[in-house]
Amino acid sequence: MQENPRPAGSSRPDSAGQPGASDASDTAGGSTGPADRPYIYANDVFKIFKVADLEVVALRGLDLKVEKGEIVAIIGSSGSGKSTLLNILAGYDTPSAGTIYVGDYDMLNMTSKEVVEYRRNEVGFVWQQTARNLFPYLSAIENVELPMMLAGRGSAHRRKRATDLLALVGLGGRMNHKPEHLSGGEQQRVAIAVALANEPPLLLADEPTGELDDETGAEILELLNHLNVDTGTTIVVVTHDPAISASVGRAIAIRDGKTSTEIRRVVEGQQQIGGEAVGVEEFLLVDTSGRVQIPREMIDELNLGERLRVEIVDGRVTLRDIDADDAEKK
Ligand SMILES: Nc1ncnc2c1ncn2[C@@H]1O[C@H](COP(=O)(O)OP(=O)(O)O)[C@@H](O)[C@H]1O
Ligand SMILES: [Mg+2]
């Protein structure tokens, strides 16, 4: 096998090292050019699945911005489109419409060669199903070495990096255990080490704590936070558990295939786990067309109907149900 199958100057015209070499396709996102574009930039993304004659709209106008080096949680109930988004970010699936970039990669316009290159160099992925992440007949260290072997790295490099990574995820003493002799939490730690083996700038984790008990799940999140700080890897972690927003600095809620609110944990000093939380703030996200999603609880609490009166009162935008408004005036 070739020692380095992906030399820096790859055949892709706008690959890393030549930022903005060609960006003619970035029109849908308006004025956001490659220079000021965040690392992950999704604008008005749609994903429609066709099942027989039925169309399922999994993402409907989703927006997302994540800066390089950030850790972000995506939260939302089952069926809200979290996995669809993550699969698109991982290069496993393509959007039906919209704009989505990760670094210099245009996720809507990649050749199959670029997709392979993207998956190999740019992203590491951790699945919810602990068993799906690891080969059962390989030891922890062999599992971590495998992606490096496939990338053509030499054996000395592989062994050293796998050893370092397993120590980093707290499994230095269990390197020769096979998955069946590791707990669920330990298996997810190995899975994270596997995902980081080829030093991807982006780590994606789809409900990595879904099969774990609360305490073990919290430890995995703490590990992701530490890895984010220690290695500078950008991390997007998906969960259906709203409590996760208490353990990452920034959590974005998806409702019905659209990012709706953002929750920022306000802590003293660093926005990381372990810091003393002084509060949690939730913001409504406004898309480029001015659309917002009013949280369901608020609609129910105020019994809001289909038509609202929008007014600016004392510099604030107010929304009132017109029927309630008329009833009040009588
Ligand atoms: N491959 C697919 N074919 C058809 N429908 C799909 C497919 N994947 C997801 N969906 C549908 O898209 C919606 C979003 O699914 P998903 O992204 O898996 O949600 P989540 O991960 O938030 O639970 C759901 O209605 C789901 O049934
Ligand atoms: Mg899912």
The three state secondary structure string of 252-300 is: EEEECCEEEEEEEEEECCCCCCCCCEEEEEEEECCCCCCCCCCCHHHHH
Residue 128 Cβ contacting ligand 1 at under 6 Å: no
The dihedral sign for the CA sequence 127, 44, 35, 118: positive
Residue 47 Cβ contacting ligand 1 at under 6 Å: no
Please tell me the number of the ligand nearest to residue 80's CA.
1
Using the atom order of ligand 1, give the atom closest to the CA of residue 47. 12
> What's this model's pTM, rounded to 2 decimal places?
0.82
SS3 48: strand
The residues, ordered by sequence, that sit 6+ positions from 52 with a Cβ below 8 Å of its Cβ are none
Which of 47, 48, 49, 88 to probe ligand 1 with, by most ligand atoms within 8 A of CB? Answer: 49
Please tell me the number of the ligand nearest to residue 205's CA.
2
Please tell me the number of the ligand nearest to residue 78's CA.
1
pLDDT at 102: 96
Instruction: List the chain residues with pLDDT less than 70.
Output: 1-33, 242-246, 266-280, 325, 328-330
Q: Whose CA is nearest to atom 10 of ligand 1?
A: 58
Cα of 4 vs its chain's centroid, Å:
28
Name the DSSP letter for residue 112. Answer: H
Of the candidate CATH numbers 3.90.79.10, 3.40.109.10, 1.20.59.20, 3.40.50.300, the domain formed by 40-122+200-290 belongs to 3.40.50.300
Using the atom order of ligand 1, give the atom closest to the CA of residue 76. 22
Using the atom order of ligand 1, give the atom closest to the CA of residue 207. 21
* Residue corresponding to tokens 């919209």: 98
pLDDT digits (tens, 9 = 90+) for 171-203: 999 999 999 999 999 999 999 999 999 999 999
What are the domain boundaries of the chain? Answer: 40-122+200-290, 298-329
